[in-house]
């Protein structure tokens, strides 16, 4: 959430910057609500000050035997006015919080300003796109003989858009998850196993609500009002809601594997077939709490980790600094790591590294304190480390052979009992 003081200080500049992310952003209603609340609060303070002064005067009048019925009647009316104002403020403040909650984070100054993803800036690339001396197949065509995953059978169980992995596909997926987790743990990230559902305020704290309510799966009945985890970023951020962390403990660097659940309403395109975009996918997530001074260095560390993981799988990729209009809602800066998928003839994101500055911390009331100094909001950073479904596509399509088999990257072979090739089955 954006600091209301920034909006008060220079609403025109803030609105202009927000419009580089969401063009129709308008701060007029927020300013009106804020002014109304501040005016009413000021009146309450003045009335309470008057009541305190008058109470002393009434006491003195009683001691002197003077009639104070009229002034006591006035104080009763004053008290009723204070209660009325408090009630009005209590009704308006949630509206202001909701309006502020719909604003995205402010982009950093060095982000390309554009609504067109074509203006994302390539900042790094590695690996040559493979050339094949035979007609290539996409991952769905390869799967016809490899039998690694099922969509038709999964549709019987749940509906369209939900994958089911089988045999070597399940083993390869599990090998990927373990490869990713081992990498992060060896580099000092603390591993978590998290709940698969979260409360509404936790989802709000991470920036998923109210903006992306139509993309969430909800578990709701007379006893529960919970949301399926869209990414481990959400519960990891929620671990420290309403807490003050000792500054010397920072940075806190966490990693977690979770299945992720997203409706992806209206998001799928013609190219987004098979495992490219599904309602459920597996992801290993990096998440860090830092001081504002450390956040950029931690961002670079997380980006390098994502890149090294892709390099370890020997997949060609590029890293793209996202333009303002293509950035995630809560991010002030985002770099996507994209893997080349030959069967799709394009790059696809497998990791998105974001510095959310104090945006999530402000929504979640997460602060840090050095000694007895005044608490301040932490910075939060998140990044896929990595999402596995498109990695699976990348491995299959980049390592396919003319006979329909697929070579297994060396980094994954120890997790598969030394198997270096997955062969077609009858």
Q: Catalogue the active-site residues.
A: 262, 277, 349, 352, 390
What does the block give as tokens for 192?
Answer: 């978590």
- Sheet strands side by side (includes 218-220): 197-199, 225-228, 218-220
3-state secondary structure of 353: strand
Residue where the block lists tokens 């999964």 = 154
The terminus-to-terminus CA distance of the chain in angstroms comes to: 55
Distance of alpha carbon 168 from alpha carbon 161, whole angstroms = 21
Distance of alpha carbon 56 from alpha carbon 63, whole angstroms = 11
Asked whether 394 and 315 are in contact (CB, 8 A), the reply is yes
For the chain, the helix, strand and coil percentages under 3-state DSSP, each to the nearest 5:
45, 20, 35
Residue 388 CB burial class (10 angstroms; 0-12, 13-18, ≥19): buried
Distance of alpha carbon 141 from alpha carbon 137, whole angstroms = 6
Report, in angstroms and rounded to the nearest whole number, the Rg of the chain calculated over CA atoms.
27
DSSP 20: T
Backbone angles phi, psi at 387, to 5 degrees: -85, 135
3-state secondary structure of 222: coil
Distance of alpha carbon 253 from alpha carbon 187, whole angstroms = 10
């Amino acid at each position: 959430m954006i600091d209301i003081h920034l909006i008060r200080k220079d609403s025109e500049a803030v609105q202009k910057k927000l419009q580089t992310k969401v063009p129709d952003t308008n701060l007029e209603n927020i300013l009106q609500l804020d002014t109304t609340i501040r005016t009413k609060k000021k009146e309450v303070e003045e009335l309470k000050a008057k009541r305190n002064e008058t109470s002393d005067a009434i006491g003195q009048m009683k001691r002197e035997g003077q009639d104070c019925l009229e002034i006591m009647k006035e104080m009763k009316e004053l008290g009723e006015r204070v209660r009325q104002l408090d009630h009005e403020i209590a009704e308006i403040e949630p509206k202001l919080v909701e309006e502020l909650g719909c604003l995205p984070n402010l982009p950093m100054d060095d982000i390309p300003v554009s609504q067109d993803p074509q203006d994302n800036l390539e900042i790094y690339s590695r690996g040559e796109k493979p050339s094949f001396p035979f007609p290539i197949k996409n991952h769905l065509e390869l799967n016809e003989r490899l039998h690694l995953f099922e969509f038709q059978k999964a549709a019987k169980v749940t509906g369209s858009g939900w994958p089911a992995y089988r045999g070597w596909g399940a083993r390869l997926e599990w090998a990927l998850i373990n490869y990713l987790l081992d990498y992060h743990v060896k580099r000092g990230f603390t591993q978590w196993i998290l709940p698969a559902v979260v409360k509404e305020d936790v989802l709000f704290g991470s920036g998923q609500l109210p903006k992306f309510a139509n993309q969430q799966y909800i578990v709701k009945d007379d006893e529960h009002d919970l949301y399926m985890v869209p990414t481990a970023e959400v519960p990891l951020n929620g671990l420290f809601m309403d807490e003050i962390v000792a500054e010397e403990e920072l940075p806190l660097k966490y990693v977690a594997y979770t299945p992720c659940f997203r409706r992806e309403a209206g998001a799928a395109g013609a190219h987004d077939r098979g495992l490219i975009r599904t309602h459920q996918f597996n992801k290993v997530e990096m998440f860090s709490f830092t001081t504002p001074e450390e956040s950029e260095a931690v961002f670079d560390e997380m980006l390098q980790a994502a890149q090294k993981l892709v390099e370890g799988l020997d997949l060609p990729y590029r890293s793209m600094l996202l333009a303002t209009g293509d950035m995630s809602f809560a991010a002030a800066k985002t770099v996507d790591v994209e893997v080349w998928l030959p069967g799709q003839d394009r790059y696809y994101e497998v990791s998105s590294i974001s510095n959310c500055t104090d945006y999530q911390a402000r929504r979640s009331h997460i602060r840090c304190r050095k000694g007895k100094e005044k608490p301040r909001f932490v910075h939060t950073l998140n990044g896929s480390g990595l999402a596995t479904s498109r990695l699976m596509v990348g491995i299959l399509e980049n390592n396919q052979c003319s006979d329909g088999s697929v070579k297994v990257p060396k980094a994954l072979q120890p997790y598969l009992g030394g198997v270096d090739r997955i062969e077609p089955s009858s």
